[in-house]
Structure 1
Amino acid sequence: MSELAELIAGWAQPGRIEWIGVRPDRRAPMTAVEELTLTANGLDGDRGRAGKRAVTLIQQEHLSAIGSYLGQGSVAPDILRRNLVVSGINLSALKGREVRVGDAVLRFTVICAPCSRMEEALGKGAYSAVRGHGGWCAEVVQPGRVKLGDVVQPVD
């Protein structure tokens, strides 16, 4: 393995699940839960879709960054409509990798770009504030349970 490949494969510490939310219907408010099951089709109780976008994740550290770009405090995770909020590990460094989240294994696929609803939810400029900080979409490689406080780390 080259030195660069070794650096890219490295990570400092595991992350942690800080918040879990599901959207039972389109435009319905997010429901925060303490644990759930990730199935081959996505999250139990979520209206999401199977495949590359079955689960959405965002870094907790980015919630305050988005808020600061809007001149306010940290943004609440339910407003951004992501399923899992993770702290302590750089999610961008996990693109294309298999990642253990609780008992499940996910593969990060594509960025979770902001939608036009961000302006509606957070006000003028919110779309741009979320750009580059909106998180990641993932597919479910191995179904399993996920709960608050679970470890998030690459599968080596």
Structure 2
Amino acid sequence: MTRFPREGQLRWIGLRPARDVPMREVPSAEARTGAGLVGDRYAGGSGKRGVTLIQAEHLPAIAALAGRDAVAPAILRRNLVVSGIALVALRGQRFRVGGVLLEGTDSCDPCSRMEQALGPGGYNAPGGMGGLCARVLEGGTLRIGDAVAWVGA
């Protein structure tokens, strides 16, 4: 239960500077301990949702269930898209994205905005594939291409 076949990789980073504005794709982001990502609307909150992540491998499945050819990461409103490591297994676990230490806190369920983003039934399309919320335990800079690796409970 504590082994992973390989490390994952950070594929995409997005920030939401305010409510009801589009995500902004960025090549890197600063994560602050207990606060989240600098420039994101959730930075400075409770910390349990400091960073949101989604599995790159789930994007085609969500698109298919929503009746689309593809779904851009920004539409799903998660901060980080990672590939190669099962996010669901990182709930309640500590893991590193590059030099940043995160702790998976809870699943990141879809919100009602998915109906607007994906069309009718969009709320249910990402069911079970909404991703993971995490708190920042040790801050630093996240960069596209960073390794994603399990650290422990």
Same topology, TM > 0.5: yes
Specify the alignment match of 1:23 in structure 2: 16
Which of these two proteins has the greater Rg computed from alpha carbons? 1
Residue 50 of structure 1 deviates from its aligned partner by 3.6
**Which residues of 2 match residues 81-96 of structure 1 at below 5 A?**
81-96=77-92
Q: Could you tell me which of 49, 66, 69 is aligned with 1:70?
A: 66
Specify the alignment match of 1:11 in structure 2: 4
Classify the secondary structure of the residue corresponding to 1:37.
Answer: strand
The amino acid across from 2:7 in the alignment is P
Residue 117 of structure 1 deviates from its aligned partner by 0.5
Q: Could you list the runs of 4 or more consecutive aligned residues of structure 1 that deviate by over 3 angstroms after TM superposition? A: none
Superimposed CA distance per residue, residues 96-150 of structure 1 (whole angstroms, 9 cap, x where no aligned partner): 1100011100000100000000001110111111110110000011111110000
Sequence identity of aligned pairs in percent?
51
1:33 partnered with 2:26: yes
Uncovered stretches (5+) of structure 2, i.e. residues with no partner: none
**Which residues of 2 match residues 1-156 of structure 1 at below 5 A?**
8-40=1-33, 41-48=35-42, 49-156=45-152
Partner Cα distance (2:81, 2:141) in 1:
15
Partner Cα distance (1:67, 1:90) in 2:
19
The amino acid across from 2:62 in the alignment is I
* Aligned Cα root-mean-square deviation (Å): 0.9
Partner Cα distance (1:81, 1:114) in 2:
9
The amino acid across from 1:11 in the alignment is F
Residue 72 of structure 1 deviates from its aligned partner by 1.6
Uncovered stretches (5+) of structure 1, i.e. residues with no partner: 1-7
The amino acid across from 2:73 in the alignment is P
**Structure in which a larger fraction of residues adopt helix:** 1
Partner Cα distance (1:12, 1:31) in 2:
32
TM-score normalized with structure 2 length: 0.95
Classify the secondary structure of the residue corresponding to 2:9.
Answer: strand
Classify the secondary structure of the residue corresponding to 1:155.
Answer: strand
Partner Cα distance (1:129, 1:84) in 2:
19
Q: How many residues align?
A: 149
